[in-house]
Amino acid sequence: MDERHGGEVNRNMVLRPHRRIVRETFLVFLAFCAPAFTVLYWLNAPNGAWLPVLIAQAVVTLAYVLSMVAARRVMIRVDATGISERGFLRRYVTFPHATLGRVVLLNLYSSGSLDTNQQLFVTDADGRLLVRMRGQFWSDTDMELLADTLDVPVVRVPEPVTLADLNRLRPELLYWFERRLTLPPSGRTLPANATESSDVTAR
């Protein structure tokens, strides 16, 4: 098997998110917690009220460690049985090849920016989302690898779209918290059934 970490090829057939995510998250954790708890200790230690601060620090640190363990366990596997995913704080699930309908590849505008991130959606024959890869966490190379590996049609949306476009045209591809956003549409179109586009790669 080939294991890939954010586009780096090792010996394993498992896809994993960018390794830099854990490192960047750790730096954010330090940048926030170190000064915050330093100030809290400085304010409370002189009057002996440091124990609640210590407990709060322990709880925050434990929550961070558990979330990082969960993040390191995130993976997508493709084998003879189908495609399997262990998402962040989600259980391990497997979708047999027979349930796969198509792969949708598109570029999604970042919120309030002209920058885009590639997004990959694996759906069943009815368009229900099974697996999603977001460019913030997965490499474009791994998305292309997954699209080429699965024996299903691949839809490549030629123009970047906004989150509002997906909310309006294909809300079933989005997470529940993304569907709650009410943003002005850009006027772009997206194949409603992901099979009507000339950018479908037939297999």
Q: How far apart are CA 2 and CA 35, in angstroms?
A: 42
Whether 105 and 35 map to the same domain: the answer is no
Whether 68 and 102 map to the same domain: the answer is no
- pLDDT tens for 12-56 read 468 998 878 878 888 888 899 999 999 999 998 888 888 999 999
Over pLDDT 90: what percentage of the chain? 37
Beta-sheet strand order (sheet of 75-79): 8-9, 2-5, 13-16, 75-79, 82-86, 92-96
Question: Beta partners for 121?
Answer: 104, 132
Residue 149 lies in a domain: yes
Residue 160, SS3 per DSSP: coil
* pLDDT score of 168: 84
Q: What are phi and psi of 190, to 5 degrees?
A: -145, 135
Cβ(143)–Cβ(120) under 8 Å?
yes
Burial label, 31 (beta-carbon count in 10 A; 0-12, 13-18, 19+)? exposed
Residue 176 lies in a domain: yes
Residue 11 lies in a domain: no
Q: What angle do CA 168, 170, 175 make, to 5 degrees?
A: 100
Residue 181 lies in a domain: yes
Whether 65 and 109 map to the same domain: the answer is no
- pLDDT tens for 68-121 read 888 888 999 998 888 999 988 788 999 998 999 999 999 998 877 788 889 999
Whether 138 and 68 map to the same domain: the answer is no
Domain coverage including residue 50: 18-72
Whether 117 and 22 map to the same domain: the answer is no
Residue 78 lies in a domain: no
Residue 2 lies in a domain: no
Indicate the pTM of the whole model.
0.73
Counting the structural domains of the chain, the total is 2
Whether 50 and 115 map to the same domain: the answer is no
Domain boundary (72, 90, 113) is at 72
Whether 102 and 183 map to the same domain: the answer is yes
Q: How far apart are CA 163 and CA 3, in angstroms?
A: 31
Task: For residue 22, give Cα distances in angstroms to 3, 36, 74, 79, 193.
Answer: 18, 21, 12, 27, 36
Whether 50 and 105 map to the same domain: the answer is no
